[in-house]
């Protein structure tokens, strides 16, 4: 195939050597992509690009740990309970440390908020020009799934330190999601993919292990307006509000004219459930339950970043009533009910929740 100007489509009969030679000429790395897109951002100085690079380097290191986890015997729990009262996995802590280390070394970030740390972490950089960016992250989402080889991920949200703020404190991070200037996630799955947005669409980059680079594999991702799959922990059914219970029953109706019933897909790794629904169409829900009025997921580093991506891809995200990105945060670790995914499915869920 080398030298061919017309490319045959890649299918299951394509020889590996042909795929390799077809693709090598076309690779666009994350770094090349960022440089090309830098002009999209007013007053761009390159510092934001360096921040994304720092995050991608940490993701590669975490990926390396994940791939060797079973061999190095680093799965399992630390024996500690984290700030949310949940059992902390060894990999949770390891991922947290790798992201903090990469952001500290990179020098573009002034404050980190992490699911694995109760307080916001100020980053003192060298010299007199401290970083401008605040990064909020869930270093390893879905970590209770690691031991059984189910996909897990990292979620990140980026804000700018408000002008004239002075010493960065947690209050500087308490901005509504509409103020995010970037957001993304990494899924450590059958392949490792990094998806991010800066408010100019959504693009996905798959880690090519042979060259150690994230390469553009999913340009301009659009979520289908409608989907066949809904994702929810149905074990909690009896503690859902009546409107949601009716919506679930409606999705289970046998009615071929309305393309019902829908299918349930629930991995229990938000980032992996979200990624599937983003590509295939679907709705993920972690609603309010009788005992947890605010659901389970965290606003600042789970709901907001993926809401930004969902909207940029043509979907939506709400707490069942209000747009996630407009919620005024009060605490770094606050929780929110969440409905996120395909637009028409979200509209339908709202109509049941309203009791229409
Ligand atoms: P984590 O950030 O501590 O891993 O918790 C969040 C996870 C989500 O990834 C997942 O969708 C949800 O918790 C699953 O919760 P449940 O077991 O209640 O369905
Ligand atoms: Mg999480």
Asked whether residue 210 falls in the same domain as residue 341, the answer is no
For ligand 1, whether the C-beta of 142 sits within 6 Å is yes
Ligand 1: nearest atom to the Cα of 297? 6
> Tens digits of per-residue pLDDT, 284-333?
999 999 999 999 999 999 999 999 999 999 999 999 999 999 999 999 99
Asked whether residue 170 falls in the same domain as residue 242, the answer is no
23 pLDDT more than 60? no
For ligand 1, whether the C-beta of 282 sits within 6 Å is no
Asked whether residue 260 falls in the same domain as residue 182, the answer is no
Asked whether residue 61 falls in the same domain as residue 210, the answer is yes
Ligand 1: nearest atom to the Cα of 272? 9
For ligand 1, atom 15, the nearest C-alpha belongs to 268
Write out the residues surrounding ion ligand 2, Cβ under 5 A.
138, 141
How many domains would you assign to the chain? Answer: 2
Is 6 a member of any domain?
Answer: no
In angstroms, what is the span from residue 295 Cα to ligand 2's centroid?
Answer: 13
Q: How many whole angstroms separate alpha carbon 290 and alpha carbon 296? A: 12
> Tens digits of per-residue pLDDT, 69-84?
767 666 777 777 777 7
Examine the fold and report which residue of 184, 218, 252 is the final residue of a domain before the chain moves on: 218
Range of the domain at 263: 229-354
Strand partners, 135: 112, 158
> Tens digits of per-residue pLDDT, 189-204?
999 999 999 999 999 9
For residue 9, the model assigns a pLDDT of 56
Beta strands in the chain (DSSP E): 77-81, 87-89, 109-114, 121-122, 133-141, 152-160, 182-188, 192-197, 202-208, 213-218, 229-231, 263-264, 283-286, 316-318, 338-341
Strand partners, 133: 109, 160
Asked whether residue 85 falls in the same domain as residue 150, the answer is yes
Asked whether residue 213 falls in the same domain as residue 291, the answer is no
In angstroms, what is the span from residue 138 Cα to ligand 2's centroid?
Answer: 6
In angstroms, what is the span from residue 304 Cα to ligand 1's centroid?
Answer: 16
């Amino acid at each position: 195939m080398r030298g061919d100007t017309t490319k045959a489509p890649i299918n299951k009969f394509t020889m590996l050597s042909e795929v390799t030679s077809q693709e090598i000429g076309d690779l666009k790395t994350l770094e090349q992509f960022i440089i090309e897109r830098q002009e999209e951002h007013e007053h761009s100085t390159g510092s934001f690009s360096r921040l994304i690079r720092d995050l991608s380097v940490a993701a590669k290191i975490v990926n390396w740990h994940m791939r060797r986890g079973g061999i190095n015997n680093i799965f399992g729990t630390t024996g500690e309970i984290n700030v949310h009262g949940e059992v902390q996995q060894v990999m949770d802590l390891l991922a947290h440390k790798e992201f903090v280390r990469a952001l500290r070394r990179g020098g573009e970030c002034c404050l980190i908020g992490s699911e694995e740390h109760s307080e916001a972490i100020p980053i003192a950089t060298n010299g007199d020009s401290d970083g401008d960016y605040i990064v909020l992250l869930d270093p390893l989402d879905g970590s209770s799934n690691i031991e059984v080889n189910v996909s897990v991920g990292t979620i990140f949200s980026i804000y700018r330190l408000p002008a004239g703020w002075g010493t960065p404190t947690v209050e500087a991070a308490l901005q509504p999601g509409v103020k995010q200037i970037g957001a993304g996630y990494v899924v450590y799955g059958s392949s490792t993919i990094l998806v991010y947005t800066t408010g100019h669409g959504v693009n996905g980059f798959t880690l090519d292990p042979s060259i150690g680079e994230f390469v553009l594999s999913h340009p301009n991702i659009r979520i289908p307006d409608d989907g066949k799959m809904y994702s929810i922990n149905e074990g909690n059914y009896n503690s859902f509000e009546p409107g949601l219970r009716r919506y679930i029953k409606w999705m289970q109706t046998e009615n071929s004219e309305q393309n019902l019933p829908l299918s349930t897909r629930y991995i229990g790794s938000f980032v992996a459930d979200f990624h599937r629904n983003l590509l295939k169409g679907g709705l993920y829900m972690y609603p309010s339950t009788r005992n947890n009025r605010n659901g389970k997921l965290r606003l600042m580093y789970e709901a907001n970043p993926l809401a930004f991506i969902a909207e940029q891809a043509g979907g939506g995200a709400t707490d069942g009533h209000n747009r996630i990105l407009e919620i005024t945060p009060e605490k770094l670790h606050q929780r929110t009910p969440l409905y996120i995914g395909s637009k028409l499915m979200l509209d339908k869920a709202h109509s049941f929740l309203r009791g229409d």
